[in-house]
Amino acid sequence: MNANSRPIISVFEHSPDQGRGMARDMRVRWALEEVGQAYDVRPVSFESMKEAAHRARHPFGQIPTYEEGDLVLFESGAIVLHIANRFRGLLPEAANARARATSWVFAALSTIEPPIVEREVVEYCEHGETWFEQRLSAVDDRIRVRLKDLSHRLGEADWLDGAFSAGDLMTVDVLRRLADTSLLDEFPNLKGFVARGEARPAFRRAYDAQRAFFNAASTGRNQPANSIAKE
């Protein structure tokens, strides 16, 4: 960890999400808040994230990254699982329950998130194409398939497998990406699931921290007082 023994995570210097907590540092901030671990942030611009210093941390030149002493990690799933294994609070003690919670982290990232990301690509990159509406509707149907199955599994439960875990955190954060669509309206129990996640004090702290960071960046006020680790 750094001199203050706090992990450092990389975040957008100026997030294109306007402080809505939609980038993938949000799930890492949330995980750290859930386990009560303070952290510093390393802001990176779109230019600097493609430079050698950041690529040494992240081979694909992206955020988030996580630094803890000599350990440097990339990929939000690996980072959240590391935090969950390193600190108490995000994984059950029992081995089988831990393994099941891990399954949900992977399900969120490799089964639920891909069609949601595809929708974002369609919206950002294919807007204006003659076939845009048809393609968007086809991708929405693929998302619905995942939401229907997830909704069925969640049923009336608060969380996916007993107590709140890293699996719920990751799934809620992935579903939050649908906030600008009406897709979750079709699945009231999933809407409730996301609302429960967002109501957690740790989520609120993480959300407020990234928002304060965004606001300070917008007005040029992000100085070391905000616990920023610079190159």
Give dist(CA 50, CA 191) in Å, integer.
36
Minimum gap (Å) between residue 63 Cβ and ligand GTB: 4
Choose, by CB under 6 A, the member of 30, 42, 76, 168 that binds ligand GTB: 76
Select from 18, 115, 8 the least CA-distant residue to 66. 8
Site string for ligand GTB, 18-47 (x = CB under 6 A): ----xxx-----------------------
Q: In what order do the strands lie in the sheet with 40-44?
A: 40-44, 8-12, 65-68, 71-74
Contact between 150 and ligand GTB (CB under 6 A)? no
Contact between 81 and ligand GTB (CB under 6 A)? no
Contact between 17 and ligand GTB (CB under 6 A)? yes
Select from 158, 160, 147 the least CA-distant residue to 200. 158
For residues 151 and 197, which CB has a smaller minimum distance to ligand GTB in the complex?
197
CB 204 within 8 A of CB 115: no
Minimum gap (Å) between residue 141 Cβ and ligand GTB: 22
Minimum gap (Å) between residue 144 Cβ and ligand GTB: 21
Contact segment (CB under 6 A) with ligand GTB among 74-82, 96-104, 192-200, 211-219 equals 74-82
Residues 6+ apart with CB under 8 A from 166: 31, 80, 81, 83, 84, 90, 91, 101, 102, 104, 105
Contact between 116 and ligand GTB (CB under 6 A)? no
Backbone angles phi, psi at 3, to 5 degrees: -55, -30
Q: Which residue's C-beta sits nearest to ligand GTB?
A: 62
